[in-house]
Amino acid sequence: MSRAVVLLSGGLDSCVSAALAAETHDELYFLHADYGQRTEARERQAFEELAEAFSAKGQLVVSLKHLEDIGGSSLTDTSMEVTEADLESEEIPSSYVPFRNANLLAVATSWAEVLEADAIVVGAVSEDSSGYPDCRPEFFRDFEQVINSGSKPDTHIRIETPIIALSKKEIVETGLRLKAPIEKTWSCYRSEDQACGSCDSCALRLRGFYQAGAFDPIPYKVRPEYR
């Protein structure tokens, strides 16, 4: 019997990661965090619909509102602008929430230790990604080491990042192949009714669908042309 805690924001990447996790684990436990991000209500809806679609064995929604109090990110601070996507830039974007993934992984590990789960599944993407430092493979490798040194001797939890080396095109292709419920996901950083089509997250997602020769089923205000 293999149990996994799956970090599920409600976006495309976490949905495809959950679909891959469903192939190798018997029971999935879905974890979602509200950290004061602008589009949390819409993300939460996606989380709940995805948990149902995947028949999650357990669900946990946690509040990490202190990340909003601490600030430093356009994702949680509405006085900062969510910048237009620049997919060529090497800068860390303003949407970076300082050390967010470590906060999420710490919660996931506490839950996984009590559940006696063997894995935590994270939909982080390193290549073709947003440039966040807490999405790099070495960060996850080091966090796995911290779990090892900071939990009970009989606790053994792997961190699985099944899409970390995939391009957005490959993530879309994988989701379509596995018939993942992509139509229930939400990725936009800016709005909750129609995706804006021009923030970092929308731009990466739409380019991925374009490169995969597929149509993104969620509603957009504007669909930019890619070639």
Q: Which is nearer to a second copy, 152 or 179 (CB)?
A: 152
Cβ density class 59-68: b for 16+ within 10 Å, e for less: eeebebeebb
The minimum distance between CB 149 and a second copy, in angstroms, equals 4
The token duo for 172 is 């879309």
Q: Which is nearer to a second copy, 53 or 146 (CB)?
A: 146
- Point out which residues bind a second copy (CB under 8 A): 60, 62-63, 65-67, 69-72, 92, 96-103, 105-107, 109-111, 113-114, 133-134, 136, 138-139, 141-143, 145-153
The minimum distance between CB 148 and a second copy, in angstroms, equals 8
CB-CB contact of 5 with 115 (8 Å): yes
For the chain, give the longest Cα–Cα distance: 53
Rounded to an integer, what distance in angstroms lies between the CA atom of residue 140 and that of residue 137?
A: 5
The minimum distance between CB 29 and a second copy, in angstroms, equals 11
CB-CB contact of 35 with 76 (8 Å): yes
**What single DSSP character describes residue 92?**
P
The minimum distance between CB 108 and a second copy, in angstroms, equals 9
